[in-house]
Structure 1
Amino acid sequence: MADVNRGNRPLSPFMIGQYYRPQMTSISSIMVRITGIASLGTAALLVLWLLSAATSPEMYATVNGVLTSFVGDVLLFLASWAIWYHVFGRLRHVIWDLGYNVNVEFGEMFGWIMFIAATILALFTAIVV
């Protein structure tokens, strides 16, 4: 058997830094997971807003005031960006699940497309809605 020195090599690809160079494919995959969690938080905000509307006018005014303030606008913009990014990430996985474009070049190109399209659509959502 070959003499393998396991003590001098990284044990995991998640050791970002000197052992692992982040790539667009890995970063976009990680971001899809993060935006999925952020989308869950966005759903919780929506439920809070609806519950406050059903509870009392005072509570609704408080929650609506927070969500329509500058901080709320920034939070809702980031939430819409996260939702759009996650949508494109799911689309990428549907394409891959169907067996199309399962290669690094497509993954890197679609990673950039996901970021740019999510930003454009989040700006569009913020302006129109």
Structure 2
Amino acid sequence: MTQTQRPLAPHLQIYRLQITSVLSILHRLTGIFLASGALVLVVWLSAISEGKLSYETIQAFFHHWLIQTYFFALSYSFFYHLCNGLRHLAWDAGYGFDLKTVHRSGWLAVGMSIILTLLTWFLIAGD
């Protein structure tokens, strides 16, 4: 008698990620990523305290395109974490739990974080 091969976890074949799941995971990942930004801030402040040469060296390093890409991602992470944190704050106050509002506020958090990131970088480029 042959044994039929059944999937071990059939729910994985039919499960579809929901926006709330993706945004929750993204909120946690951006929080972790922001911790790396805190370390970069400490390095930058240390370079300032060391004097002019150290400061100019770190500033030159920060102008590399790869580091600029990191800063862009860091600024998006900051704004997403902020916007989604405000969303969670509204939930803590008991607002926005119906499914329609949950989806709208999720997309609003994503959209506002993109707008705020682009606006910030547009203003930085204007200097």
With the length of structure 2 as denominator, give the TM-score of the two structures.
0.82
> Deviations for 1:67-102, whole angstroms, at most 9, x for unmatched residues?
122122211111111000000111011111111111
Partner of 1:48: 43
1:8 to partner: Cα distance: 5.6
Superposed counterparts of 1:2-81, under 5 Å:
9=9, 17-81=12-76
Specify the code of the residue in structure 1 equivalent to 2:77.
Answer: A
Inter-partner Cα distance in structure 1 for 2:61 and 2:98:
45
Matches within 5 A, 1:69-108: 69-108=64-103
1:121 aligned to which of 91, 104, 116: 116
Counterpart amino acid of 2:19? M
Aligned sequence identity (%): 31
Task: Identify the range of structure 1 (91-100 vs 47-56) with the bigger mean alpha-carbon deviation.
Answer: 47-56
Q: How many equivalent residue pairs?
A: 118
Amino acid at match of 1:98: A
**4+ runs of 1 displaced by more than 4 Å?**
7-10
- Aligned-residue CA RMSD in angstroms? 2.0
Q: Quick one: distance in 1 between partners of 2:8 and 2:40?
A: 47
Q: Which runs of 5+ in 1 are unaligned?
A: 1-6
Question: TM-score, normalised on structure 1?
Answer: 0.81
Quick one: distance in 2 between partners of 1:8 and 1:42? 40
CA distance in 2, matches of 1:37, 1:128: 26
